[in-house]
Structure 1
Amino acid sequence: MLNPEVIVYTSRNCDDCEKVIGKLNEWEIKYEERNVSENREYFKELQGNNVYGTPAIFINGEKILGYQIRKMKQKLGIKEKPQYIDIDSMNFS
């Protein structure tokens, strides 16, 4: 997906918020972080979307609540890398 609009609502002392931000940085996705602990207006925006917790991610207006890697990848168009098992190297004896 080319240049998705990504807004991440975070709060202080939120481990899952840090994980979300870390993944977005790892994937080199541009995003806007809105910390609801530091800005009351961001908290009101979040409540206006019927969301009362963080992290809350909006990707092109679509909401993802919490740390949900698969949903984030899907909305961002990031393909899962297939995991192969090398049965030739396995010992079945």
Structure 2
Amino acid sequence: MISEPITVYISKGCPYCEKVIAHLEEHDATFQVKNVSEDDDAFKEWKSINPMGTPLTVKGDRQVLGFSAEKLDALI
């Protein structure tokens, strides 16, 4: 069974974004990072999800806004 990809939308200078990435790396999660501050396509994609901010971690139809180890663990 192939797992759905995890995407982390981040912005420049966001300490919680760094915490999300570190947490996912610690748990050997496979994910891609999209910087909405530096990538116009990533910004448009992020906006289409109707986010409230960054970091926004998405897997399928599930989302985690901000940093929550418990919620991220459930997503992995």
TM-score when normalising by structure 2:
0.89
SS of residue matched to 1:12: coil
Q: Does 1:10 align with 2:26?
A: no
Residues 9-48 of structure 1: matches in 2 within 5 Å? 9-48=9-48
Deviation at 1:4, TM superposition (A): 4.1
Unaligned runs of 5+ in 1: 77-93
TM-score when normalising by structure 1:
0.74
What are the superposed Cα offsets for residues 15-66 of structure 1, whole Å, 9 maximum, x if unpaired?
0000000001100101010001110111111111111411000023311100
Q: Does 1:65 align with 2:65?
A: yes
> Higher relative CO (CA 8 A, sep ≥ 6), structure 1 or 2?
2
Deviation at 1:5, TM superposition (A): 1.3
Q: Quick check: which has more Rg, 1 or 2?
A: 1
Identity %: 33
Distance 1:52 1:44 in 2: 14
Q: Report the number of matched residues.
A: 75
SS of residue matched to 1:70: helix
